[in-house]
Amino acid sequence: MKRWVTHGFIAGYLGLLLYGVICHTINYKPHQHLGMYFIVWDMYCGWDAHETRRHLVAEGLSGNYYELTPAPWGEFVPYGSAYRRDYDYQGQYSGRIITNVLSHTEHEPITRVYMVDEIWSRKYNLPESLWKQRYDEPYDKYSYNYLRAVYLPSGEQLQLHYDWKQHLASRALLANPRLMEEVSRAQPYLAGPAKESSPIRPVSYLPGASEF
């Protein structure tokens, strides 16, 4: 009896994982409920080789710049060292943070607020003791600062640029003459989700796509 229970548990467990893989492969209700998170094979798919922190910088009427984050009263850190604003990948809620800080502080008239992404390689998150064991090169952390979005003082988003990875991919495409020639000659197509009226949608190359 014990063997049958063990075999049944193993078969059920493997069958459940197989169901999750199939749902993820054919895109069949992968986010239907919370339990799908434990069986759909897309865990940690958003992790990459770079760490990102977001800074909100206000430009005053006099031309001076003021850092709005961290706020004077402190920041909420959900987990690890990242602040709540660092989880706002598309900048959808940064406008509310801007209006909250500006409405509770004294300052000159503000003309624009910039969301700047600070990006560095995740390997620099290692402590120096582990760094020396793994790398022969000196510990010289280098960060890239990239303008991601522009807001009005009211919190309205004026501009939203590509993220850092898309920016690098676009620059690499524009710097490759062979790929640019193929793009100008070819007619690409993009397959859309099955729920749309047409699963195939033509996509044309726009010259303005080179502007970031």
CA atoms within 13 A on the CB side of 87: 10
Mean pLDDT for 65-80 is: 87
pLDDT tens string 135-177: 988 888 889 999 999 999 999 999 988 888 888 888 888 888 8
Q: Is the pLDDT of residue 210 over 80?
A: no
| pLDDT at residue 187 in the model | 67
**Is-contact 118 133, C-beta < 8 A?**
no
DSSP 113-150: EEEEEEEEEGGGGS-HHHHHHH-SS------EEEEEEE
| pLDDT at residue 177 in the model | 87
| pLDDT at residue 55 in the model | 93
- In this prediction, residue 190 has a pLDDT band, given cuts at 50, 70 and 90, of low
Supply the DSSP symbol for 27. T
Q: Which residue has the higher pLDDT, 183 or 162?
A: 162
| pLDDT at residue 151 in the model | 94
Q: Which residue has the higher pLDDT, 67 or 205?
A: 67
What is the Cα–Cα distance from 31 to 195, expressed in whole angstroms? 15
Domain residues of the chain, as ranges?
2-38, 50-162, 168-210
| pLDDT at residue 63 in the model | 92
Q: Is the pLDDT of residue 89 over 50?
A: yes
